[in-house]
Amino acid sequence: MGPFPDIAVERHGLVALIEIRRPPSNFFDVALIRQIAEAMETLDEDAGCRAVVLASQGKVFCGGANFGDGSRLSAEGRRPEELQQSAVPHLYVEAVRLFRTRKPIIAAVQGSAVGGGLGLAMVADFRVACPEARFAANFTRLGFHPGFGLTVTLPEAIGKTNAALMFYTSRRVTGEDAFKMGLASVLVPQDEVRSAAIKLATEIAENSPLGLIATRATLRQGLADRVLAATDHELKEQDRLRPTEDFKEGVKATAERRTPNFVGR
């Protein structure tokens, strides 16, 4: 498998662990999501793997997209790497591949899962977190629209009201609150997050692989198609909002750690 420049894959018995290696913030782009998708699709065909743990190096699970301080954004609100990647499939095409994989996934969230990083965590069936973890759908604080299928996955996991609260406020949800609302399935000390995720994956992997895949397919029936439809809409809204003054102000304010001064245009 691979080699992959930004991820590593290791085995723990019947469990495969995919580790994102872009510390400190583990920002994603099309290339990273493609690597994860290729690894997961390969593991789908591997009878020796029955469950997957998605983890990352350092203190941050995934900081989402790297907008920097906004100074490198084009007039259309795009990052230089997005302009260079105009000829390759969009990020969300790669993201939908993740939702089409067949084996159970556990995300080990030891720190922040922000924006699209939260979207990546929501690909998983379960999230193992710690009190120090932070979950944030901070799109409106950026003057932006949610993406990565979060308008489907977040309400399905925690209900429309809790999802709307996260979207509308852009607040950072602690690990304890995430556990209370069902966003995290397991809460353990920070230094036990990865081992607890592997333990849960191992417990799952002890069951019938045919039964697991069949049951998961039933429970997640149509999810990838719903995410595909959602990302088509999310992308249109994001493209509409990228050139606005508010988006540039949101990115700049976030980089400067201050409250944005939005003007509605």
Q: Evaluate the omega torsion of the peptide bond into residue 209 and state whether it is cis, within 30 degrees of 0.
A: no
What is the arithmetic mean of pLDDT over 196-220? 98
List the domain boundaries for the chain. Answer: 7-191+205-255
H or E segment to which residue 20 belongs? strand 15-20
Q: What is the tens place of the pLDDT at every residue in 153-165?
A: 999 999 999 999 9
Q: Whole-number mean pLDDT of the chain? A: 93
Q: What is the tens place of the pLDDT at every residue in 91-133?
A: 999 999 999 999 999 999 999 999 999 999 999 999 999 999 9
Nearest to 91 by CA among 149, 138, 52: 149
Rg (CA), the chain: 18
Question: Which residues face 53 on adjacent strands?
Answer: 17, 106
- Asked: is 7-191+205-255 a CATH 3.90.226.10 domain? The reply is yes
What is the arithmetic mean of pLDDT over 229-234? 96
- What residues contact residue 203 under an 8 Å CB cut-off, 6+ apart? none
Q: What is the pTM of this model?
A: 0.93
What is the arithmetic mean of pLDDT over 127-150? 97
- Residue 87's pLDDT is 33
- Residue 76's pLDDT is 61
**Per-residue pLDDT for 56 more than 70?**
yes
- Residue 137's pLDDT is 98
Q: Are 151 and 165 in contact (CB under 8 A)?
A: no
% pLDDT > 90, the chain: 88
**Per-residue pLDDT for 40 more than 60?**
yes
Total count of residues recorded for the chain: 265
Report d(CA 260, CA 246) in Å as an integer: 9
Q: Residues 61-92, buried b or exposed e (16+ Cβ, 10 A)?
A: bbbbbebeebeebeeebbbeebeebeeeeebb
Q: Are 264 and 250 in contact (CB under 8 A)?
A: no
What is the arithmetic mean of pLDDT over 227-255? 94
Alpha-carbon torsion, ordered 227, 232, 236, 237, to 10 deg: -10
